[in-house]
């Protein structure tokens, strides 16, 4: 079966930048646009040119030097905005004018103060105006999911007839649900003449935490462009997260008969660049690119990961540009992970010795959040009669180098500085006491011992 290609429309530099604290200057936008190009997105919405001279300059600069993707600028459905966008994007190899007009009754009555008929007329006229400048015109029906479905289809029909090449259905306030949104997209596909000749797009916000789910439902129902942003930044609770949408389609290709051209190995570097530019950190448990996305502290999970990473990871960290998975030493860690970490810092223990060390390790981990390598080395050094077998000097040097590398130490996104923990002397490291219990045997006992 042929897999449909989904166009990825990145709005990090426009809608994403509207997130409080995430505004960018011209050089920062240009730097981010080059990275989005490396990521392989199909469309970069570079800004809202009428908003400010700075935004106009940023869109113009991006259009001049980022040549592979489509470069779009946003315009309200009026001549002044449309002309301003064209002046900003006309230097692009592939320019697009993106026109937006609200269609819900609440917006028409309270914000625009126009009738439905006036809305229909303004939508069609704005598309025709944009087409006099550019052959690639996208039209967005703001607040589409709170618009009467019958009227929504009338507006879509009007802009398709006027020459729109892409029609976008936004869930502007994050109001819809996946099943409802999927039905709406299907309704448009069934009722609008000529819809098969344009690209149907979706743009979902995350006010109820459903932006990604709604976007995927829209794709499953027939949308062939998805609008999203890096790290999910955007107005209020944000936009659908680009990295989550792309990886959901890739990991669950059995459920989605479609693909994107995104270079997934660039997802993490792109996320990190955006955080660096805006100063807004990614939440640790953020899917795909959060600090904890490939970190494991639970002993049961660590034991499984050491035996086969597929036990607890549905994608490899390298597939999204993360250097490696991380086993975090904390109070939930097991002997298997502790033993592996000891080997990485240059020591090997038999089971009895590791049992002794493990009890002291847990006592320490109960008092501090994470056990760093220097804590572990002091625990080893405090053993009353250390029977541990140190590795050969050259092996120990290699293991220690590996242990202190960014991949092996705490985590792939933001390492936890040692200053975040009290010095080992101030903690009062527990003394290691030998355990006189006999060793255990058997597969189930080995499993329990390992965790």
Q: How confident is the model at residue 333 (pLDDT cuts 50, 70, 90)?
A: confident
343 vs 451, higher pLDDT: 343
For residue 44, what pLDDT is reported?
Answer: 98
For residue 397, what pLDDT is reported?
Answer: 53
One domain, residues 37 and 178: yes
Q: What is the mean pLDDT of residues 186-208?
A: 98
Closest alpha carbon to 327 in 358, 304, 350, 352: 304
One domain, residues 202 and 305: no
pLDDT, one tens digit per residue, over 365-375 is 888 878 888 88
For residue 451, what pLDDT is reported?
Answer: 54
DSSP state of 279: -
For residue 311, what pLDDT is reported?
Answer: 85
Q: Per-residue pLDDT for 108 more than 70?
A: yes
Q: What CATH number has the domain bearing residue 150?
A: 3.20.20.70
Residue 230 lies in a domain: yes
DSSP-derived pairing of the beta strands 295-296 and 70-76: unpaired
Q: What mean pLDDT, rounded, does the chain reach?
A: 86
The number of distinct structural domains making up the chain is: 2
Boundary residue ending a domain (278, 303, 328) = 278
For residue 344, what pLDDT is reported?
Answer: 75
Q: What is the mean pLDDT of residues 11-38?
A: 94
For residue 390, what pLDDT is reported?
Answer: 52
One domain, residues 141 and 245: yes
Q: Per-residue pLDDT for 151 more than 50?
A: yes
Residue 285 lies in a domain: no
pLDDT, one tens digit per residue, over 67-80 is 999 999 999 999 99
Q: What percent of the chain has pLDDT over 70?
A: 85
One domain, residues 328 and 272: no
Q: How far apart are CA 396 and CA 399, in angstroms?
A: 5
Whose structure tokens read 């946003």?
Answer: 74
- Domain boundaries, position 176: 4-278
One domain, residues 48 and 155: yes
For residue 428, what pLDDT is reported?
Answer: 52
Q: What is the mean pLDDT of residues 22-38?
A: 96
Boundary residue ending a domain (224, 248, 278) = 278
Q: Per-residue pLDDT for 431 more than 80?
A: no
Q: Is 13 helix (H, G, I), strand (E, B) or coil?
A: coil
Tally Cβ neighbours within 10 Å of residue 169. 24
Q: How far apart are CA 338 and CA 352, in angstroms?
A: 13
Is there a contact between 63 and 88 (Cβ–Cβ < 8 Å)?
A: yes
Q: How far apart are CA 123 and CA 103, in angstroms?
A: 9
For residue 122, what pLDDT is reported?
Answer: 98
Residues in the chain: 451
């Amino acid at each position: 079966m042929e897999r449909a290609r989904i166009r990825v429309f990145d709005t990090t530099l426009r809608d994403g930048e509207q997130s409080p604290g995430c505004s960018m200057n011209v050089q920062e936008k240009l730097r981010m646009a080059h990275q989005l190009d490396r990521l392989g997105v199909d469309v970069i919405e570079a800004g809202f040119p009428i908003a400010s001279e700075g935004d106009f300059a940023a869109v113009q600069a991006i259009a001049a030097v980022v040549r592979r993707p489509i470069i779009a600028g946003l315009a309200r459905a009026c001549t002044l905005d449309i002309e301003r966008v064209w002046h900003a994007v006309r230097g692009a190899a592939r320019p697009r004018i993106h026109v937006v007009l609200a269609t819900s009754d609440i917006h028409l009555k309270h914000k625009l103060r126009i009738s439905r008929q006036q809305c229909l007329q303004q939508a069609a006229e704005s598309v025709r105006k944009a087409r006099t400048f550019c052959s690639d015109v996208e039209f967005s029906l703001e607040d589409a999911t709170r618009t009467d479905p019958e009227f929504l289809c009338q507006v879509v029909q009007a802009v398709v007839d006027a020459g729109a090449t892409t029609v976008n259905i936004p869930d502007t306030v994050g109001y819809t649900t996946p099943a409802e949104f999927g039905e709406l997209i299907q309704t448009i596909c069934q009722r609008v003449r000529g819809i098969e000749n344009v690209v149907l797009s979706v743009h979902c916000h995350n006010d109820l935490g459903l932006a990604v789910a709604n976007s995927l439902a829209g794709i499953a129902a027939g949308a062939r462009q998805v609008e999203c942003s890096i790290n999910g930044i955007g107005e209020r609770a944000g936009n659908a997260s680009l990295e989550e949408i792309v990886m959901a389609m890739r990991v669950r290709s059995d459920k989605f008969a479609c693909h994107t051209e995104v270079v997934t190995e660039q997802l993490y570097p792109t996320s990190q660049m955006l955080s660096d530019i805006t100063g807004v950190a990614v939440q640790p448990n953020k899917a795909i690119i959060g600090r904890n996305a490939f970190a494991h502290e639970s002993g049961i999970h660590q034991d499984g990961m050491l035996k086969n990473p597929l036990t607890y990871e549905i994608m490899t960290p390298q597939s999204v540009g993360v250097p490696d998975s991380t086993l975090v030493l904390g109070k939930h860690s097991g002997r298997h992970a502790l033993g592996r970490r000891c080997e990485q810092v240059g020591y090997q223990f038999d089971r009895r010795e590791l049992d002794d060390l493990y009890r002291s390790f847990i006592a320490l981990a109960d008092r501090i959040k994470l056990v760093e390598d220097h804590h572990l080395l002091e625990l080893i050094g405090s053993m009353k009669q250390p029977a541990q077998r140190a590795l050969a000097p050259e092996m120990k040097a290699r293991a220690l180098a590996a242990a202190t590398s960014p991949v092996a130490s705490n985590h792939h996104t933001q390492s936890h500085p040692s200053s975040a923990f009290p010095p080992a002397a101030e903690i009062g490291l527990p003394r290691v006491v030998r355990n006189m219990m006999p060793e255990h045997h058997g597969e189930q006992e080995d499993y329990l011992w390992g965790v």
